[in-house]
Structures are given as structure tokens and as C-alpha cells.
Amino acid sequence: MPMSYTTLVSGKTTPGSVHNFCNYLKVPVEVVLEEAQAIIYSLLRVREMKTAAVITLTAAASSVALPTGYLEPIAMRDREGWDTIPHNFVEETTLLRRRIYTDDVLETGTPMLVSVFDEAFQFDCKAEEERKYDLVYYKQPTLLSTTNTTNFLTNRYPNILRKGCQAGAASFKQDDVQDYAALLAELTGLIDRANAESDMGRAA
């Protein structure tokens, strides 16, 4: 039976449900499923998680809010031709050292360096004019629900989602620490393999 949200949250007698493959009726299925996805998306980096957006830094601004679901940057290019990420993507301390203030006011100029903190892209100076950036980044997919019953995890990586739910269920059951650790290790192993395959075949 194909994996779906409907199947996963069904009763114990349904093959493929969390209660069925975890064999524990007291597991809060919706909670386990949500937390499993959170763990998976924090580690997984595959093609289905890549998306694009246009970022606009308005004149006299030095930051732009991160897009919804932003996880990690891949590339960002100024419309004038500057490769902002990865070439000018710096640590927070480096960005702060490069910011120059006069009478506690950040200087205005051509933004060159960028970092991420305070849930925003932070630049090294205020923009003297509006600037647009083409951004490619990893985005957290919409979580499975009654209105979003399948996604690339259920279709392409059902083994990863199942292992994530098993690890989550073991934690709720307060199983032996070694049992939970073993399941978590299996989960991270599956995710590492998927990430490696994605890196090997950029067009896979």
C-alpha cells in the first residue's frame, strides 16, 4: 500500500500505519509524525527541497527577511552580476566587523557581504538604491496533513519517514536508550545516503 498521511495515522490493523509498524497503541501518532518530519528536514538536503525566490533589498535597508520555510542557502546572485552566495557569504562576526557606523548610523553604500541572523539576510551596509537578488535555497516542505496527504518523502523516501516515526515512537515509549539510539543511527544513515546520492547526481 502506498504511504500517505491517511495510512500513517490509521489504526493498528492498517498495514503501513504508525501504530502497525511500531506495535504500540499509546503512541501519539500525529505528534510522532510531525516531529519525525522536523528531524528529517533538518538533516535532509535533496533536489525536492530546492527552490528559488527573488529577494529585494530596498533603498536604505540593510536586511531582508528570510523566505518562509528557509533552511539553508545554496546560491544568491545580485541582478548586477555579483555572486553574493557563496563567495561573499560570511560568518556573523565578520559581517559585524565590516559594518561601519557614523553617529550610530550604519553607512550607506553597495552591499558586498551577507550573513544570516535574526531570521534575515543581513548585509554589511545600507543599500544606496534598491537591489534585487536571485536566491536558490533549501526549503522545508509543507508537513503532511489531511489536506497534504503525500509528498516526496512518502513517494521517494518512505523508508526514511518510517524510520523517523519508529525512532520517535521509541522515544515516547521510553524504550531502552540503546534501542532509540540504534533507530536514530539508522535514520541518520539513510539520510546521509540520500544526501550523498543527491550530491553525486545533481540532475538525479
Residues 68 and 124 in one domain: yes
Domain limits for position 26:
5-46+157-200
Instruction: With respect to residue 166, please indicate whether it lies within any of the assigned structural domains.
Output: yes
Average pLDDT over the chain reads: 92
The answer to whether residues 20 and 101 belong to one domain is no
* 152 belongs to a structural domain: no
pLDDT in tens, 104-121: 999 999 999 999 999 999
The residue among 151, 145, 165 whose CA lies nearest residue 29 is 165
Residue-wise pLDDT tens digits, 150-172: 999 999 999 999 999 999 888 87
Which phi and psi (to 5°) does residue 71 adopt? Answer: -115, -45
Domain count for the chain, please give it: 2
Co-location of 97 and 130 in the same domain: yes
Neighbours of 121 (CB within 10 A): 26
The cell numbers describing 84, all together, are 553574493
pTM (2 decimals)? 0.89
Mean pLDDT of 32-52: 96
| Pairing, β 108-109 against β 120-123 | unpaired
User: Is position 75 within any domain?
Assistant: yes
CB atoms within 10 A of CB 188: 16
pLDDT of residue 198: 87
C-alpha cell at 28: 501519539
Are 57 and 128 contained in the same domain? Answer: yes
Are residue 60 and residue 122 in the same domain, yes or no? Answer: yes
